């Protein structure tokens, strides 16, 4: 288990090193980017409903701020660990550079199982974490956001707690908030919409029509559900969807809107959803069904050396962070399966988070139509830059993504005099 955990950070470091070498970067570029500039580990007390005190561990990683303040989500999960948070913050640095956002990468995590908490306990954990990291974040320093296990309600508690700590109104410290306290229209479905927009642009570049294509989605939380709905609206035939309970499959296509409504009221229990479909207890089965494209939108390390040979799809569009291991990546390349990497495909969320932050700082808010229009423009520009690099250097799209990002980061760090 420890070896697998270490591979998450080692994997992103390997990608960075490979690209730094291929671009002929000075050694200092890799040395700066391989580790976060700042990493905080905190432990804070939480009063449980039974009156006992539980000590909870949390992390915050600020990977690089050459392009702007750190930006990245906070995940609540019992499996959160230090190297994972560091790796996720490095991915955020790469993503923000690719998406042309004035941010560096940040990430946070709390080692907690939210399914075991009452709402009151969840609120106390959320506020406790923000109190612990308040000295290290701020609207111009580091801006957290939702991730796995957190949501707009949690962000509302967090922004309120931060404002109490600093003594003034500062909505721009957190994004992904409820609309009424400074959240942005369009933020909830933004990651899923961005995945669809990336796939649509990818189809144009590769010369195929996404309408009628058989697609499968692993993960049916906020990201996977939004992606499934947007792909369904695009005209794709969604043949398989999975969550933690298992996979539902229908070769003729699933009733995505009905499954989405069911999942909203019955999270993590997709296998019991009514409808015409087969059920498998294997959550990774959605990655192996007969489909044209698969969308891993769950956890990291889902496509591995073990199951990569069984993937039947022509395309993999990564909705989750780090769903494909380095060894699996190589297998997919050798098999001619094209991967659209996470650092491009799932940047819709951070892009609209950036829009939310801008609106908070200006105290002027845009319509949802404006948000969606700006998102599509930004996603298309990011894709076009990456695809041009992919073609120019004849490299896979993940390598091209890192080339685009590291070139920008190196120029920014050089301009600042870091090396």
Tokens of 116: 């075991």
Are 347 and 379 within 8 A, CB to CB? Answer: yes
220: phi then psi, degrees, rounded to nearest 5? -135, 35
Distance CA 7, CA 13 (A): 9
Known catalytic membership, residue 71:
no
The helix (run of H) or strand (run of E) holding residue 237 is strand 237-243
Across the beta sheet with 142-146, the strand order is 38-47, 53-64, 104-110, 70-76, 142-146
The answer to whether the beta carbons of residues 181 and 156 sit under 8 Å apart is: yes
Helix-, strand-, coil-residue percentages of the chain, each rounded to 5: 50, 15, 35
CB 216 within 8 A of CB 238: yes
User: Do 228 and 195 form a contact (C-beta atoms < 8 A)?
Assistant: no
Annotated catalytic residue: which of 71, 107, 177, 237?
107
b/e map of 310-340 (b: 16 or more CB within 10 Å)? ebebbbbbbbbbbbbbbebbebbeeeebbbb
Residues assigned a catalytic role: 107
């Amino acid at each position: 288990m420890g070896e697998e955990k270490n591979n998450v950070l080692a994997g992103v470091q390997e990608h960075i090193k490979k690209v730094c070498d291929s671009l002929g970067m000075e050694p200092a570029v890799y040395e700066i980017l391989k580790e976060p500039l700042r990493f905080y580990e905190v432990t804070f007390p939480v009063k449980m409903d039974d009156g006992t005190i539980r000590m909870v561990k949390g992390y915050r990683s600020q990977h690089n701020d050459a392009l702007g303040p750190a930006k990245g989500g906070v995940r609540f999960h019992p499996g959160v660990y230090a190297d994972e948070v560091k790796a996720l913050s490095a991915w955020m640095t790469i993503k923000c550079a690719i998406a042309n956002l004035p941010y560096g990468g940040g990430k946070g995590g709390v080692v907690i199982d939210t399914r075991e908490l009452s709402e009151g306990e969840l609120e106390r954990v959320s506020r406790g974490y923000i109190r612990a990291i308040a000295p290290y974040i701020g609207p111009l320093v580091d801006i957290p956001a939702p991730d796995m296990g957190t949501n707009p309600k949690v962000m509302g508690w967090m922004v309120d707690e931060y404002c109490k700590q600093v003594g003034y109104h500062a909505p721009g410290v957190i994004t992904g908030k409820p609309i009424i306290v400074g959240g942005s229209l369009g933020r909830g479905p933004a990651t899923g919409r961005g995945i669809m927009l990336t796939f649509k642009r990818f189809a144009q570049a590769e010369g195929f029509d996404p309408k009628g294509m058989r697609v499968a989605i692993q993960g049916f939380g906020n990201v996977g559900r939004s992606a499934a709905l947007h792909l369904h609206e695009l005209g794709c035939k969604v043949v398989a969807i999975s969550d933690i309970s298992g996979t539902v499959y229908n070769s003729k296509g699933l009733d995505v809107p009905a499954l989405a409504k069911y999942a909203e009221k019955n999270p993590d229990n997709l296998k019991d959803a009514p409808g015409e479909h087969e059920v498998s207890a294997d959550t990774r089965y959605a990655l192996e069904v007969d489909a044209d494209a698969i969308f891993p939108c769950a956890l990291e390390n889902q496509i591995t050396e073990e199951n990569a040979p069984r993937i039947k799809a022509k395309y993999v569009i990564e909705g989750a962070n780090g769903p494909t291991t380095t060894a699996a990546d190589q297998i997919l390349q050798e098999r001619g399966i094209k991967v659209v990497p996470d650092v491009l495909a799932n940047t819709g969320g951070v892009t609209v988070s950036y829009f939310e932050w801008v609106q908070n700082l200006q105290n002027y808010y845009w319509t949802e139509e404006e948000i969606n229009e700006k998102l599509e423009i930004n996603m298309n520009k990011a894709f076009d830059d990456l695809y041009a690099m992919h073609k120019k250097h004849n490299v896979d799209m993940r390598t091209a993504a890192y080339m685009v990002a590291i070139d920008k980061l190196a120029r920014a760090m050089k301009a600042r005099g870091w090396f």
